[in-house]
Amino acid sequence: MLFDRDDTLIRDVPYNGRPELVEPVPGAARALELLRTHGVRLGVVTNQSGIRRGLLTAEQARAVNARVAELLGPFDVWEMCPHAPGDGCGCRKPRPGMLLSAVSRLGVRAAETVMIGDIGADMGAAAAAGCRGVLVPTSVTLPAEVEAAPAVAADLPGAVLLALRTEGRP
């Protein structure tokens, strides 16, 4: 299972380079523990354009990622796109590059993988990579993104339960 980082696993602090500001969303630790109990491999795929924009360094972004793992437990794979929207890279969501890399590194098939995120770019990347998508809307999620999402859950624990049920797990 793959997760967006900001506003999906942790509260979004724009261009955050400070680990002490990391705050998990409600229910995140419980949801991830449920997945680990079921033997689900976990990955994070996160756009971090603040690196390209000079607002934080890659080292600062990795320190924030380390704090996420400290608070929420280990992830099997981390993928981070440092590019700005206009750079034309293949990794920045909604393009599928990070998801395809994560799936390959996890040794699973994209069709067996669920991507959970909070905006349309997450769902677009999931579709482009051949993964299933579950949207967890926040205050920044556009109504059209909710309408277009293949599946929607009210919160992260609900998204995890929905994903597990669609895989035939209890």
The stretches of the chain forming alpha helices (DSSP H) are: 28-37, 58-72, 97-106, 120-129, 143-148, 156-166
**Helix (H) or strand (E) segment spanning residue 114:** strand 114-117
Q: In this structure, what token pair is assigned to residue 1?
A: 């299972």
Map residue 118 onto helix, strand or coil.
coil
Q: What contacts 34, CB < 8 A, 6 or more positions away?
A: 157, 160, 161, 164
Provide the CA 149 distance to its chain's centre, in angstroms: 15
Q: Which residues are catalytic?
A: 4, 6
CA dist 168 → 14, 112, 156 (Å) = 37, 12, 19
CA dist 30 → 34, 35, 61 (Å) = 6, 9, 24
